[in-house]
Chain A
Amino acid sequence: MKNFVNLNVNPCNMCMPMGAAGVFKGIEGTMVLMHGSQGCSTYIRRHIATHYNEPIDIASSSLNEKGTVYGGSENLKKALKNVIKLYGPKVIGVTTTCLAETIGEDIRRIIDEFFLEEKIVGVECVAVSSPGYGGSHYRGHYYTARKVLEHFAKTGGKSDKINVIVGCMSPGDIRHLKEILDLYELEYTLFPDISETLDGGYHREYDRLPEGGTPVAELKAMGKARATIEFGAMVSEADSPGEYLKAAFGVPLYRLPLPVGIEHTDQLMETLTILSGRDMPEKLEKERARFLDAMIDSHKYSAEGHLSVFGDPESVYAITALGLENGFKMCVAGSGPASEKLIPALKALETEYGTVFIKLEDTDFETIAGHVTETGTDLLVGSSDGAFMTEKYGIPLIRTGFPVHDRIGAQRKIMIGYFGSMQLLDEMTNTVLAEKHDHFRKHLFTEYGQAKEG
Chain B
Amino acid sequence: MNINLLEERKNSVMCNARDDARHIECGKNSAAGSVSQRACVYCGARVVLNPITDAYHIVHGPIGCSAYTWDIRGSLSSGSEVYRNSFSTDLREKDIIFGGEKKLAAAIDEIAETYSPKVIFVYSTCVVGIIGDDIDAVCKSAEERTGVRVIPVRSTGFAGNKASGYRAACDAIMDLIGDAERPEKPSGINFLGDFNLAGEMWIVKSYLTQIGITINTAITGDSSYESLKRAPGAELNIVQCAGSMHYLARLMEEKFGIPFISVSFCGVEDTSASLRTIAKLVGDSETIAKTEAFITEKAEEAERLIAPYRKRLSGKHAAIYVGGGFKAISLIKQFNDLGIKTVVVGTQTGREEEYETIKSLTDEGTIILDDSNPFELEAFIKEKKADILVGGVKERPLAYKLGVAFLDHNHERKHPLGGFVGALNFAEEADLSLLSPVWRHVKKDRGETDEKLCQLEC
Spell out A's residues near B (CB within 8 Å). 4-11, 13-18, 33, 36-47, 49-50, 52-65, 67-68, 75-76, 78-83, 85-87, 97-99, 102-103, 131-134, 136, 200, 202, 204, 206, 208, 366, 385, 388, 405
Contacts and interface: CB of A to CB of B under 8 A. Distances in A.
A64 B29 CA distance: 8
B397 A54 contact: yes
Given A8-B63, A15-B64, A42-B43, 18 more contacts: A6-B89, A6-B110, A10-B71, A13-B63, A37-B40, A39-B40, A42-B40, A46-B68, A53-B396, A62-B31, A68-B129, A68-B158, A80-B33, A86-B6, A86-B373, A202-B442, A206-B378, A208-B378
Interface of B: 4, 6, 8, 29-43, 58, 61-72, 84-93, 95-96, 103-104, 106-107, 110-111, 114, 125-127, 129-131, 157-161, 373-375, 378, 393-394, 396-398, 400-403, 442, 445-446
B33 A37 contact: no
Contact of B401 (A14, A103, A202, A388): A202
A97 to B, nearest CB: 8
Contacts of A80: 33
B158 A42 contact: no
B95 A82 contact: no
B89 A208 contact: no
Nearest to B66: A11
Contact of B127 (A57, A75, A98): A98
B6 A85 contact: yes
A123 B302 CA distance: 56
Contact of A99 (B30, B158, B396): B158
Contacts of B88: 7-9, 11
A8 B8 CA distance: 40
25 contacts: A11-B90, A14-B67, A15-B64, A33-B33, A36-B158, A38-B30, A39-B39, A43-B69, A55-B397, A59-B34, A60-B35, A61-B32, A62-B34, A64-B159, A65-B158, A68-B158, A75-B32, A80-B33, A85-B4, A86-B6, A102-B126, A102-B130, A131-B93, A133-B96, A202-B400
Contacts of B58: 7
A134 B93 contact: yes
A83 B33 CA distance: 5
Contacts of B445: 202, 204
Contacts of A82: 6, 8, 31-34
Given A38-B40, A208-B378, A81 B33 contact: yes
A200 B401 CA distance: 9
A420 B378 CA distance: 37
Contact of B131 (A36, A102, A200): A102
A132 B89 CA distance: 13
Instruction: Give the most central of B8, B58, B89, B393: most A CB within 10 Å.
Output: B393
Contacts of A13: 63, 67
A206 B454 CA distance: 28
Contacts of A97: 126
A144 B109 CA distance: 37
B29 A46 contact: no
Given A11-B88, A49-B397, A65-B158, A79 B110 contact: no
A83 to B, nearest CB: 5
B63 A385 contact: no
Contacts of B125: 98
Given A37-B158, A42-B37, A202-B442, A131 B62 contact: yes
The 7 closest A-B pairs by CB, nearest first: A39-B40, A15-B64, A79-B33, A82-B33, A43-B68, A79-B32, A8-B90
A99 B126 contact: yes
A78 B8 CA distance: 10
Contact of A9 (B85, B397, B442): B85
Given A99-B130, A206-B378, A38 B161 contact: yes
Given A59-B35, A60-B32, A133-B127, A14 B63 contact: yes
B387 to A, nearest CB: 16
Contacts of B85: 9-10, 366
A15 B111 contact: no
A42 B72 CA distance: 14
A132 B63 contact: yes
A194 to B, nearest CB: 15
A2 B281 CA distance: 54
B106 A5 contact: yes
A39 B32 contact: no
A52 B33 CA distance: 23
Contacts of A132: 62-65
Instruction: Give the most central of B39, B70, B72: most A CB within 10 Å.
Output: B39
